[in-house]
């Protein structure tokens, strides 16, 4: 029997964790895995116990550099896990550090301007954002045990395609370039008054897992994440 795969998650928030947990289960196809929620801290009901959002992921990455004298990939979090999934939605490419109250940002593309590119293709924006994310860790290449996850425009695009494949926007070949996923999920009851409802996400977790092959076929960033993740599983 294969040993459980140890997967650590660094993500923007609790609903992102639920989606990614479903995705990992789909990719492992029944193989056991041990999830560890590295950041943000969540309670037993998956409610955040610390700040979340893309800025919190940034601060976590910067903390890696402060914890040792060597490269970020030498941090024990990578040694203790088979892989570390690091998620930042690609809508962050249109942000500025000041939007999150970060006063001492690195001199990168997100600092000098936004790194959002014309879409399609969605990869132009996500590639630019991934370079910025690596810079947060002081890296120029993805660390050996890291898997970057940059859904376009947000992870809600994956949720919409998975759970509501008949939705007019979900069926569009340009869905990764549109900002309509969250408004559509409000219509379907997963988001209310601007809040993503964790209980609704958990209730639909199995549906996301089962539909993952269709999401991969529809969303290029879902396919990239899947390919990168499975490459590390194979290496293990």
Query: Which pLDDT tens digit goes with each residue over 109-133?
Result: 888 888 999 999 999 999 999 999 9
Token duo for residue 116: 């959002």
Token duo for residue 151: 């859904």
* Cα gap 123→219, rounded to integer Å: 11
Per domain, the residue ranges of the chain are: 5-155+218-230
Contact by Cβ (8 Å): 221, 151: yes
Token duo for residue 113: 């301007």
Per-residue pLDDT of the chain (236 residues; tens, 9 = 90+): 578 999 999 999 999 999 999 999 999 999 999 999 998 777 777 777 677 899 999 999 998 888 866 678 888 999 999 999 999 999 999 999 998 999 889 999 888 888 999 999 999 999 999 999 999 999 999 998 999 999 999 999 999 999 999 999 999 999 999 999 999 999 999 999 999 999 999 999 999 999 999 999 999 999 999 999 999 997 66
Q: Distance from CA of residue 188 to its chain's centroid?
A: 22
């Amino acid at each position: 029997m294969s040993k459980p795969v140890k997967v650590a998650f660094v993500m923007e928030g609790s609903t992102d964790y639920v989606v990614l947990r479903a995705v990992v289960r789909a990719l492992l196809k029944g193989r056991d895995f041990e999830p560890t929620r590295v950041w943000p801290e969540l309670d037993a009901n998956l409610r955040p116990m610390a700040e979340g959002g893309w800025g919190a992921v940034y601060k976590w990455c910067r903390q890696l550099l402060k914890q040792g004298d060597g490269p970020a990939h030498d941090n024990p979090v990578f040694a203790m896990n088979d892989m570390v999934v690091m998620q930042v939605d690609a809508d962050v490419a249109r942000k500025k550090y000041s939007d999150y109250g970060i006063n001492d940002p690195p001199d990168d593309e997100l600092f000098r301007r936004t790194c959002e590119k014309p879409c399609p293709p969605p990869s132009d924006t996500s590639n630019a954002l991934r370079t910025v994310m690596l810079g947060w860790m002081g890296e120029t290449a993805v660390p050996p045990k890291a898997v970057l996850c940059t859904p376009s425009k947000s992870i809600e695009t994956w949720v919409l395609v998975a759970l509501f494949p008949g939705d007019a926007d979900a069926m569009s070949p340009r869905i990764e370039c549109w900002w309509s996923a969250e408004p559509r999920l409000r219509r379907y009851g997963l988001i209310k008054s601007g809040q993503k409802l964790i209980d609704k996400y958990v209730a639909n977790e199995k549906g996301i897992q089962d539909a993952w092959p269709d999401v991969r076929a529809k969303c290029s960033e879902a396919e990239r994440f899947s390919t990168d993740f499975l490459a590390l599983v194979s290496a293990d």
